[in-house]
Amino acid sequence: MSDGTITTITILLFVFVLSAFIWPIALGIHLELEGRKKRGEPPAYDERQKLARLRAGSRAMYALLFFLVLWAIVDQIGCFDWTASVLDLVLCALMLTFVVWSGECILRGAMLGFNQRKSESGQIISYFSLGACWTIIGGTNTDAMSSSLRAVQMLMGGSFLILGILMLYARYKRRRSDAGDGEV
């Protein structure tokens, strides 16, 4: 390896290590500045929604703990090879907590803030699109080397589809409730 290549790699590594220190500081400054901008603005979520989101967070944490214990037991028994992959563990754990938290928020009407004018239909479409995409990618991925990744892809597809179905159910429930609202 020539001296020039070694110098280039050293500089790149130096920049990489430096960025590891710089980006958390930059992110912190950005969050603080955003927080200052938003201070004094009315809150996006009302008190019941905040409570529902906190409860959902608590449930997601318990689901994560249960999942980790289950994964550890299966790994110790050694019936499946893919339990040795940390990447799969992290991806599955992230997806699980995301689904539990989002699912609870959707069912409790706390996914969108009361003054957030986001499109619910757009969310439903994006959930179903993401679910279909990941399911198709996982279903068509026949590479033996990535069999565990395939399971993660299928899990992600299934999770987004579940969220889409929950969103549709919450919408149906709300519309039924609107009919009996006694609108005047």
Partner 1 sequence: MKNLRLRSARAAKGLSQQALADLVGASRQTINAIEQGDYNPTINLCIAICRVLDKTLDDIFWEEQ
Q: How many CA atoms, within 13 angstroms, populate the side-chain half-sphere of residue 150?
A: 11
Euclidean distance between CA atoms 100 and 102, whole angstroms: 6
- The residue within the footprint of partner 1, chosen from 11, 24, 33, 46 (CB under 8 A), is 46
Cα–Cα distance between 92 and 68 in angstroms, integer?
10
Query: What is the 8-class DSSP label of residue 45?
Result: S
Backbone angles phi, psi at 151, to 5 degrees: -60, -40
Question: Which of 23, 62, 114, 169 touches partner 1 (CB under 8 A)?
Answer: 114
Select 34 or 46, whichever has its Cβ closest to partner 1.
Answer: 46
Residue 109 Cβ vs partner 1, minimum distance, rounded to whole Å = 4
x/- site string to partner 1, residues 146 to 175, per CB under 8 A? ----------------------------x-
Q: Which of 47, 81, 86, 143 binds partner 1 (CB under 8 A)?
A: 47
Structure tokens at 151: 């399971």
Could you give the CA distance from residue 162 to residue 175 in angstroms, rounded to a whole number?
A: 20
Regarding 177 and contact with partner 1 (CB under 8 A), the answer is yes
Interface with partner 1 (CB under 8 A)? 42, 46-49, 108-109, 113-115, 174, 177, 181-184
